[in-house]
Amino acid sequence: MTRSSWIRKMFEEGIRMKADGKGPVWDFSLGSPILEPPAKVVDRLKHLAGGSVPGIHRYMPNPGYDSTRKAVADFISSETGIKIPSGNVIMTVGAAGGLNSVFKAILDPGDEVIILEPFFGEYPFYIDNHGGVAVPVRSKEDFQIDLEAVEALINSRTRAVLVNSPNNPSGVIYSRQSLENLAVLLRSKGRESGSEIYIISDEAYRKIIYRKPDCPGSLAVYENTIMVTSHSKDLGLAGERIGWVAVNPSTPDAGRLIDAIVFSLRALGYVNAPSIFQKTIEECLDVSVDIGWYKKRRDLLCEALADFGYEFIKPDGAFYLFPKAPGGDDLEFCRVMASRRVLVVPGRGFGMPGYFRIAYCVGDGIIEGALPEFKAAI
Amino acid sequence: MTRSSWIRKMFEEGIRMKADGKGPVWDFSLGSPILEPPAKVVDRLKHLAGGSVPGIHRYMPNPGYDSTRKAVADFISSETGIKIPSGNVIMTVGAAGGLNSVFKAILDPGDEVIILEPFFGEYPFYIDNHGGVAVPVRSKEDFQIDLEAVEALINSRTRAVLVNSPNNPSGVIYSRQSLENLAVLLRSKGRESGSEIYIISDEAYRKIIYRKPDCPGSLAVYENTIMVTSHSKDLGLAGERIGWVAVNPSTPDAGRLIDAIVFSLRALGYVNAPSIFQKTIEECLDVSVDIGWYKKRRDLLCEALADFGYEFIKPDGAFYLFPKAPGGDDLEFCRVMASRRVLVVPGRGFGMPGYFRIAYCVGDGIIEGALPEFKAAI
């Protein structure tokens, strides 16, 4: 608990501040997708909720409805060019539930998972839950993968590299070159150790992108890829906990791996992904919230902060900006900002002290209201 | 995986058999509540799903909406006579998610949890997930708690006794006498070891009862009780994964225990209970599915099976019957029944070889259809 989430700490600090009656709070702490689900999602959900679909709220097989798994498999096959059978898709309780099920499936005590800095601060907990050890590795200045640094950390206990693209908190999309080089390295190291080193590809932000990526993701470039995602962001369903896992059929012993993930999701007490949302997303894989809405915020924030003198890599996806903390001390900078009633999260929460995260998935006027404070603080 | 669930095995066997075209399958394998949610639940869900409640699908604080926690706290306070503050209620991803969050919160590696035979077959996994050791203890012939047997197994590593009432698979409701005696024992043993031994009270079937219990449950008789339940059965929402945990405010250091459970539900990747179902059950705690529907099935089954010569304790709650396996070999008996296209689950899946479980939450005509097979098999 003492290592617990900086994000949640700031979010809860925000709830306290908002109640103190001392004026507005400019809250950039939580990556809470603020947009309502697309109309198609609402219509579909309303239809399913109306009592006209018998059995919609019952248990189904642990990995999910066959029809949902098939819809997801077809969707991801067409997106990646890799033919995914529906049996390789497992519906999960969000991406967080999917990651935990995958880690339980593949980790023995002491096994290592490499995570790329900066990383989502919950990853080390997800790995630790199942006896694994999170091994953070630095990235290049532009937040792309530092292959030599990764290579230096691989050993016989390395079971996976966790790749989050678009990245929370940096907003970076890993390039085809980065992913292909990583694939070559992991193939070679896997052969040496005699077992697969997986890429676990957390793509929770896959549709929140501001340019077309040069590659459809790890699934398309590396056979030992387990893709994990959710509809929290692209369909605005964060509180509903609906996501899925897709296993590349070319990974050796894929059937046994899938069985282990399904067993894990049951044994961990997820049991199944929420039923009505499986059936909802089944027909809504082709829609998303308005990405332009997020892009406007990115552009507004980036332009102003660059103008004030903040240093950062302009994000290509997700809804975060991860600048260097002026003065170098991220905790001190976040304290200064909080005293100005602006909530941002220290970079050490993502394995990178000296930076801070701005979650710009915020309502109209919040960025504009906070800009004078950012200007004054630097 | 090899120790995996007999229930799910039979359920999946049933799916295969139903597709083989060789006639009806009488499937009593899965405790899947077949009744649709009450009209009030459907109305409420439909209203919330309609797009008229802004932000309904977003993240909220990990333990749930304040309003939902308050509604649950008020409800359980009035049911048990114990004043539960809303901060002591944590909304969870079903009871299974609640149990896992509780076990992660209270267990250190090697800590022991006593489970009462017969027990839900997933319990040992839930305990093992977090480094704990499940210690099964026999019960009395009538499935009430064998206090001497429990006492003999308590040692300095015992952190909790898991009490499931009404019980899956026996249908027994533990008597006030049983629970009060257990409370006295745990208080005394807790004093000896210098730390609390919790009762974790899994009350997933609390509203599926056929007589008024003589006691509102463990929360009312023992201060170190953590109650866990879900709305899978009473509101027919099994696939939607909505449940909650309530901590007795009289347990020492309750605030820290609650913080640990909330941290655990986040770290395990549940994040929060599905949002729309929190808001749905908030106003539906006073309703339930038609218990009479289940009672009719219990009575039909009990009368016929007693008539055929099966031996069992007549269940007071839940929707299971747990008879002795004719011939004594539960695996063999279940095989014989499967050859007659009747699916029941071997008692060894619940820690009691020599018995078998019939889940009688089944549609019209299923019991009637299967009775000749039960008669012939004995």
Q: Across the interface, do B62 and A4 touch by the CB < 8 Å criterion?
A: no
* Residue A255 CB contacts under 8 Å (≥ 6 apart), including other chains: none
- List pLDDT tens digits, range A28-72: 988 888 899 999 999 999 999 988 899 999 999 999 999 999 999
The closest CB to that of B100, out of A59, A259, A269, belongs to: A269
With bands split at pLDDT 50, 70 and 90, how would you rate the model's confidence at A15? confident
| pLDDT recorded at residue A9 | 74
With bands split at pLDDT 50, 70 and 90, how would you rate the model's confidence at B30? confident
SS3 B135: strand
| pLDDT recorded at residue A14 | 79
Q: Across the interface, do B239 and A50 touch by the CB < 8 Å criterion?
A: no
pLDDT at A373 over 70: yes
The closest CB to that of B57, out of A39, A97, A238, belongs to: A238
Of B156, B187, B174, B203, nearest to B251 by C-alpha is: B187
The CATH architecture annotation of domain A6-30+290-377 reads: Alpha-Beta Complex (3.90)
Give B94's contacts in chain A (Cβ within 8 Å): 269, 271
ipTM entry: 0.95
pLDDT at A12 over 90: no
Of A54, A69, A126, A120, nearest to A97 by C-alpha is: A126
Q: Across the interface, do B238 and A94 touch by the CB < 8 Å criterion?
A: no
| pLDDT recorded at residue A125 | 96
Strand partners, A113: A134, A160
- List pLDDT tens digits, range A298-349: 999 999 999 999 999 999 999 999 999 999 999 999 999 999 999 999 999 9
- List pLDDT tens digits, range A74-111: 999 999 999 999 999 999 999 999 999 999 999 999 99
Give B236's contacts in chain A (Cβ within 8 Å): 57-58
| pLDDT recorded at residue B3 | 66
Q: Tokens for B59, please give them.
A: 């993240």
The CATH number of domain A55-282, selected from 3.40.50.300, 3.90.209.20, 3.40.640.10, 3.40.50.10810: 3.40.640.10
**Alpha-carbon distances of A235 from A69, A280, A283, A288, rounded to whole Å:** 17, 10, 12, 5
Q: Taking residues B219-248, what's their average pLDDT?
A: 97
Sequence ranges of the domains in chain A: 6-30+290-377, 55-282
Min mean pLDDT across B50-54, B193-197, B346-350 is at B50-54
Q: Across the interface, do A274 and B277 touch by the CB < 8 Å criterion?
A: yes
| pLDDT recorded at residue B257 | 98
pLDDT at A272 over 90: yes
Q: Across the interface, do A240 and B276 touch by the CB < 8 Å criterion?
A: yes
| pLDDT recorded at residue A1 | 67
Is there a shared CATH topology between the A6-30+290-377 domain and the A55-282 domain?
no
Give B241's contacts in chain A (Cβ within 8 Å): 93, 241, 270-272, 274
At the topology level of CATH, where does B54-282 sit? Aspartate Aminotransferase; domain 2 (3.40.640)
pLDDT at B4 over 70: no
Above pLDDT 90, what percent of chain B?
A: 90
| pLDDT recorded at residue A159 | 98
Q: Across the interface, do B238 and A59 touch by the CB < 8 Å criterion?
A: yes
Mean pLDDT estimate for chain A: 95
Q: By the CB < 8 Å criterion, does A271 face chain B?
A: yes
Q: Among A100, A126, A271, A275, which would you mutate to test the B interface (most chain B Cβ atoms within 10 Å of its Cβ)?
A: A271
| pLDDT recorded at residue A17 | 87
Q: Tokens for B137, please give them.
A: 């203890």
pLDDT at A2 over 70: no
Strand partners, B245: B90, B228
Q: By the CB < 8 Å criterion, does B53 face chain A?
A: no
- List pLDDT tens digits, range A136-182: 999 999 999 999 999 999 999 999 999 999 999 999 999 999 999 99
pTM metric for this prediction = 0.96
- List pLDDT tens digits, range B84-135: 999 999 999 999 999 999 999 999 999 999 999 999 999 999 999 999 999 9
With bands split at pLDDT 50, 70 and 90, how would you rate the model's confidence at A7? confident
Give the Cα separation of A84 and A70 in Å (integer): 9
The closest CB to that of A236, out of B57, B100, B236, belongs to: B57
Q: Tell me which H or E stretch contains B244.
A: strand B243-247
Cα angle vertex A7, ends A6, A10, to 5°?
85
Q: Across the interface, do A240 and B34 touch by the CB < 8 Å criterion?
A: no
With bands split at pLDDT 50, 70 and 90, how would you rate the model's confidence at B2? low
Above pLDDT 70, what percent of chain B?
A: 98
Instruction: List, as ranges, residues 28-47 from A with C-beta within 8 Å of B.
Output: 30, 32-34, 36-37, 39, 42, 45-46
Q: Taking residues B269-276, what's their average pLDDT?
A: 98
- List pLDDT tens digits, range B308-346: 999 999 999 999 999 999 999 999 999 999 999 999 999
Per-position DSSP letters for A74-98, written without gaps between them = HHHHHHHS----GGGEEEESHHHHH
